[in-house]
Amino acid sequence: MFLPNSIKLFFINCLGFSLLGCAYITQGPFPDNDRGALASHPDFFGDKADKIIYPDQNWGRADSLWYYNTTQGSDLLPYDVFLYLEQADKDKLFRDTSNMLKYRYLPQKPTWDNPDGLPLGWVKDRYKGKDYVGLTCAACHTTQVNYKGYGIRIDGGPAMADMETMIIDLTHAVKNSMSGEKFLRLAKKVLANEQPEAKSLETFKQELESLHQTLAAYVNMNTPRHQTSQGEKIVHYGYARLDAFGRIYNRILAHVSTNEIPKTNPANAPVSYPFLWDTPHHDFVQWNGVADNATAVGLGPVARNTGEVLGVFATFNVKESKRGSLGYPSSAETRNQIRLEDHLKDLWSPSWRQLADIGALKKIDGDLAKKGEQVFVDYQCGACHEAIKRTDKKRVVVAQFSSVDWIGTDPQMASNAILYCGDVGVLKNANLGMCAADLNEPALSGVLPILQKVTTGVMTYGLVRKLGTYTEAIINNPLGLFQGQFKTRRHVELEVTNKAYLNAYKGRPLNGIWATAPYLHNGSVPNLYELFLPSCSDEEIQQGKKCRSNKFTVGNRELDVKKVGFKQFENPAQFQQPALFVFDTSLPSNSNKGHEYAAGKTPMPKLVNGKVQRDEKGEIIKHYFKPMEEEERWALVEYLKTL
């Protein structure tokens, strides 16, 4: 008898870990067919979704809803404040569907475990007797693409969200609710009293002021500043990108700092939200592969996800850790994080063919795709982008890294992650190592070791209570327990290296790639077709050379089924409040250069019988491909739809 994965997960966890208690939360006896999704009429930027559908990704209705509604311990702000908070310049709620759509968070109707109808991935978390609203994995890793009236919800896909603008607007909303009629309306609802006492109002106002200070400090420390020859320049992320590393780093530095104003680094290297299918099967996960999936005998995913939730508004305290105590208290929901990671093992990438079969997408041209498959082979795409069977339970993905100097894409994210330094603060006795950028300053360390120290402390707090949970994590992670050969092996330029940190970016399998535009790690190429074109100057484009776009729009969801990206607008100024974001590749962190194998500009290591060739000096011999012909580009695009 077939049982949805969520039901199987429920019984396995309850039976196998009964001593731990069963943390899996069902989504009610009859989960909605539409998984709580709301079609939006009308949507911004000309989008239209009359009907929401889900591709076959091996998750049932309850599987998706559990993923959407399970807290990881994120505490952005008090839950009741969020429920009743108004927009800064309106008397409508901040969480109003039209406002959340402005930031491209997906709207949901009330369901069993989301009774207030919060946007997808926004959840209630309870910590030390107080309720908070926070974000779960789904907020950043669920997407929707539209095509001819269909809204195709894709679990594990990269969100279109503009988290940077959302947090800025949320901060303004809290500030404007600290006085006047807005304050009184909010206070009456939060305090559940039409005539609150003066003392209660004063206490509540102080709470709002404290909340605003926290949010304002977060916004300020994470402003994406760049120092250029023309002075400081702020480059906003726009839709579909976030500098997660920079924001995690800064939040950690703020918590360990002993200064009134913590010294942080600009969060100025936004990257596309990664897609999550196959993630538990990877040896290394992030764009730059800093963390592996095998660390500490199988606890790699726990460490990676703990660091993530500390950056995404978990409550934690490093400064009050007492001498002799083990670790740091936090709201991080370790058990839920382990089960969320395990839940992703069953997730498949979405299939274009399956959606075309039900009429939701245009049929693939089989003859053209066959030609594209040969192009894929001829240009050795599979050397970095391993071909896997998307439904294979035992699939293992070995990441192939390309050094920044080789691949030529924007270096900001990779360099920031390994070079950023910070004040060790209360961790001054932790022997974290010196800061490579300033060896004469003993109070500084690389931020990565500081993050690792704090993450370890959060993981070890309450260790005895967590032993059973960690046993579950180890058993659930064969990459760590049974395939230990992956622990320190990184493949760079198609060879093995044991370097701990790399100034490099990873390639990954391309199954489902059609649903993940824009492309390159920083989202600087709007569609797959342009990925096979060269980057050019504005002058070359004006002269008629076929090149990647130096400016393009981001924010709408309508799929361009020919080029495989999102619909472009020649006149983005037609949209107001919100404005359609224009991605400008001339700005810092936005470069669209690199990965130009198809244009004959980016080299591959020369291979003979699968082995990298070196010259008499020991240097890797570079191989350049001939520039693709137009028909080859279109054929390759068509083939990538089939993956």
Q: Which of 277, 274, 240 is nearest to 511 (CA)?
A: 277
Q: Which of 41-50, 75-84, 238-247, 379-388 has the lowest mean pLDDT?
A: 41-50
What domain range includes position 293?
Answer: 5-235+272-357
* 31-43: average pLDDT: 84
Q: Which of 315, 324, 325 is nearest to 255 (CA)?
A: 315
Note the pLDDT of residue 1: 40
In the three-class reduction of DSSP (H, G, I as helix; E, B as strand; rest coil), residue 219 is classed as helix
Note the pLDDT of residue 12: 41
For residue 408, is it within any domain? no
pLDDT band at 487 (very low <50, low <70, confident <90, very high): low
Q: Which of 6-15, 20-29, 517-526 has the lowest mean pLDDT?
A: 6-15
pLDDT greater than 50 at residue 9: no
What sign results for the dihedral spanned by CA atoms 305, 308, 310, 315? negative
* 28-55: average pLDDT: 84
For residue 82, is it within any domain? yes
Beta pairing partners, 583: 552
pLDDT greater than 80 at residue 5: no
Name the pTM for this structure. 0.91
**How many structural domains is the chain composed of?**
1
Note the pLDDT of residue 622: 96
Asked whether the beta carbons of 306 and 331 are under 8 A apart, the reply is no
Note the pLDDT of residue 610: 87
For residue 544, is it within any domain? no
Note the pLDDT of residue 400: 92
How many other CB atoms sit within 10 Å of the CB of residue 525?
26
In the three-class reduction of DSSP (H, G, I as helix; E, B as strand; rest coil), residue 594 is classed as coil
pLDDT tens-digit series, residues 56-108: 999 999 999 999 999 999 999 999 999 999 999 999 999 999 999 999 999 99
pLDDT greater than 70 at residue 11: no
Q: How far is CA 410 from the centre of its chain?
A: 18
Percent residues over pLDDT 90 in the chain? 69
pLDDT tens-digit series, residues 497-508: 877 677 899 999
Asked whether the beta carbons of 635 and 368 are under 8 A apart, the reply is yes
Give the CA count within 13 Å in the CB-facing half-sphere of 324. Answer: 0
Note the pLDDT of residue 474: 73
pLDDT tens-digit series, residues 430-451: 778 767 655 455 567 889 889 9
Note the pLDDT of residue 418: 86
Mean pLDDT score of the chain? 89
For residue 642, is it within any domain? no
pLDDT greater than 50 at residue 16: no
pLDDT band at 298 (very low <50, low <70, confident <90, very high): low
Number of H helices, E strands in the chain: 22, 24
Note the pLDDT of residue 527: 98
* 242-271: average pLDDT: 94
pLDDT greater than 80 at residue 34: yes
* 146-175: average pLDDT: 97
